[in-house]
Amino acid sequence: MSADLTNPQADLALAGLRSLTPARVGLRRAGDSIATSELLDFQLAHARARDAVHLRFEPSTLIAALRDQGRADALLLHSAATDRQTYLQRPDLGRRLDEASRIRLKNHENSGPVYDLSLVITDGLSALAVERHATPLLAELLPALARCFPQLQMAPICLVEQGRVAIGDEIARTLSASLVVVFIGERPGLSSPDSLGAYIAWRPEPGKTTDAQRNCISNIRAEGLSYPDAAARLLFYIFEARRMQVTGVALKEPELNEPEFPPALQLEAGKP
């Protein structure tokens, strides 16, 4: 569906539709071609998506933000993918830690308790998403976790460079954490180069846990799922995963408009 620039009435009829979505609908045309402004807008969106894929993850800012939130025990790790090009060409290397990170994690595991929850933050395919949204999301989530689950033993937050979703499996297994949540930059789209995703898995097994055994919360960003709603959904999954001892297709997706699932998720404190 497109709008001819020589037909103002047709363009006006599609203006309302354009206001409802960032998708490219009702593109303006000049004769048989797309209007120059539409073409330039597409090229800009494509460039932003491409840049997001190649943007380098800068964890220092996130570490400082976590310290301000009272999490000074964050661990900086790296996947087996040595650089961005390798990461993009070898997805398998992004799913496991390099040897130095494995040793660092092992040393921490030897001195720590058994954990209930491990939070992992990794760049994925959009470091931009992590840099923009991880800090405000954790600012909503961490106080809510402390309020709803005061007895919860949480592992140090792990920041992983060049990581993919499944790298959280190795981290959780090494730290003896029963539940892992991986925050990751999602594959950029032409209208969303900075979308953050969260993947939840109960007792993950490296190399064995499948996508069907994970729950996913997607499109966390200012124009998508808000931080309070994303935090509420995460609280729901953490609560239900620990209660049912399962995640994935066996764990029902919550509905924000259901009476028993208000946005604030008013769980009874102390009930794991």
79 in the same domain as 17: no
Same domain, yes or no: 42 and 131: no
Last residue of some domain: 16, 36, 53? 53
Please tell me whether residues 30 and 73 are part of one structural domain: no
Query: What proportion of the chain, given as a percentage, has pLDDT over 70?
Result: 85
Exposed/middle/buried for 18, CB within 10 Å: 0-12, 13-18, 19+?
A: middle
pLDDT of residue 41: 81
Query: Could you tell me if 180 and 169 are in contact, meaning their C-beta atoms sit under 8 angstroms apart?
Result: yes
Top-confidence residue, 88 or 34:
88
On whether both 158 and 32 belong to a single domain, the answer is no
Query: Within this chain, do residues 48 and 70 fall inside the same structural domain, yes or no?
Result: no
Shared domain for 16 and 133, answered yes or no, is no
Residue 7 has pLDDT above 80, yes or no: no
pLDDT at 256 over 60: no
Whether residue 261 lies inside any domain: the answer is no
Span of 2-11, 77-86, 120-129, 176-185 with lowest mean pLDDT: 2-11
Q: Is the pLDDT of residue 241 over 60?
A: yes
Q: How confident is the model at residue 267 (pLDDT cuts 50, 70, 90)?
A: very low
Whether 210 maps to a domain, the answer reads yes
* Structural domain of 90: 57-250
Whether residues 97 and 18 fall in one domain = no
Residues 230 and 105 in one domain: yes
CB 11 within 8 A of CB 1: no
Instruction: Classify residue 18: in a domain, yes or no.
Output: yes
pLDDT one-digit tens code per residue, 28-81: 777 778 888 777 887 888 888 887 788 888 888 888 888 888 887 899 999 999
**pLDDT of the residue at 269:** 35
Helix (H) or strand (E) holding 231: helix 227-244
pTM of the entire predicted model: 0.83
Q: Which tens digits make up the pLDDT trace of 99-145?
A: 999 999 988 765 567 899 999 999 999 999 999 999 999 999 999 99
Task: State the pLDDT at residue 270.
Answer: 35
Tens digit of pLDDT for each residue in 188-238?
Answer: 887 788 999 999 999 999 999 999 999 999 999 988 999 999 999 999 999
Does residue 69 belong to any structural domain of this protein?
yes
Q: For tokens 């840099």, what's the residue?
A: 131
Residue 271 inside a domain? The answer is no
**Predicted local confidence at residue 10, as pLDDT:** 61
Q: List the CATH number of the domain containing 100.
A: 3.40.50.11240
119 and 220 fall within a common domain? yes
Q: Are residues 200 and 239 in the same domain?
A: yes
Phi, psi angle pair for 116, to nearest 5°: -85, -30
**35 in any annotated domain:** yes
Whole-angstrom distance, CA of residue 206 vs CA of residue 175: 13
Q: What is the mean pLDDT of residues 78-85?
A: 94
- Structural domain count, the chain: 2
Same-domain pairing of 166 and 45: no
Q: Residues 145, 246: one domain?
A: yes
* The predicted structure's pLDDT at residue 255: 64
Higher pLDDT, 177 or 34: 177
- Residue 49 domain-assigned (yes or no): yes
